[in-house]
């Protein structure tokens, strides 16, 4: 089970995997998706009779769009929410304002809280969540860079709890490219989590 752990001096969190997104050398603003993870997710969840709920923030619903593009997704996808503002996170998913102030809306703790909350709200087997900074940074700037995202997946199958939180960074200031990359990273994490359990 991947957990968040404690802060390290280099700014990363122990137990929170971090890596950069791959980018296409000819078109760095358009991430390449060599294999769509959604069909494999659908196959696993359908075979097990499991369900999914999703909470997105910076990705703006792109993960849900890709999920619902899969034929038959209504059999396993219960729904999703774009909790873009802190107000939406608080009112729709019950994430406490104090918790958001303490860790920030873009943090491992926030991603995990969103995944847990959307899973509980819809009674799903799996909850998946994304929170990040799509950029470009204008107006009120965050101390965190554009292209940074935290993804979380939670589930419980056969009494075996699964909680995974990862950090991803694109290194880009391109809003659309970051949103697409965040959605892709969330779906890939979900697939890895689902495959990690026995059929």
Going from N- to C-terminal start, the domains of the chain cover 34-195
- Note the pLDDT of residue 164: 96
- Tokens 């009120």 found at: 140
41 to each of 66, 71, 110, 133, 172, how far by Cα in Å?
Answer: 12, 12, 24, 26, 28
- Note the pLDDT of residue 156: 82
Give the whole-angstrom CA distance, residue 175 versus residue 29: 9
- Note the pLDDT of residue 27: 38
Tens of pLDDT, residue by residue, the chain (199 residues): 444 332 322 333 334 655 444 433 333 444 445 689 999 999 999 999 999 999 999 999 999 999 999 999 999 999 999 999 999 999 999 999 998 999 899 999 999 999 999 999 999 999 999 999 999 977 666 789 999 999 999 998 667 899 999 999 999 999 999 999 999 999 999 999 998 844 4
- Note the pLDDT of residue 134: 96
Query: 76: buried, middle or exposed (CB in 10 Å: 19+, 13-18, 0-12)?
Result: buried
Query: What's the CATH number of domain 34-195, 3.40.605.10, 3.90.950.20, 1.10.3080.10, 3.30.70.980?
Result: 3.90.950.20
């Amino acid at each position: 089970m991947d957990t968040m752990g404690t802060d390290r001096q280099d700014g990363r969190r122990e137990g929170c995997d971090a890596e950069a997104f791959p980018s296409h050398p000819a078109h760095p603003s358009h991430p390449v998706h060599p294999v769509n993870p959604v069909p494999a997710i659908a196959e696993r969840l359908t075979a097990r009779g499991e369900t999914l709920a999703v909470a997105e923030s910076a990705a703006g619903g792109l993960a849900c769009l890709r999920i619902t593009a899969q034929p038959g997704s209504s059999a396993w996808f219960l729904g999703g929410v774009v909790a873009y503002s802190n107000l939406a996170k608080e009112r729709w998913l019950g994430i406490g304002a104090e918790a958001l102030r303490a860790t920030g809306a873009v943090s491992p703790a926030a991603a995990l809280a969103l995944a847990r909350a959307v899973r509980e709200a819809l009674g799903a087997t799996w909850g998946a969540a994304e929170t990040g900074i799509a950029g470009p940074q204008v107006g009120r700037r965050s101390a965190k860079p554009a292209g940074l995202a935290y993804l979380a997946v939670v589930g419980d199958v056969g009494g075996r709890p699964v909680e995974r939180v990862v950090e991803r960074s694109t290194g880009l200031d391109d809003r659309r490219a970051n949103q697409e990359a965040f959605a892709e990273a969330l779906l890939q994490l979900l697939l890895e989590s689902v495959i990690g359990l026995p059929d």
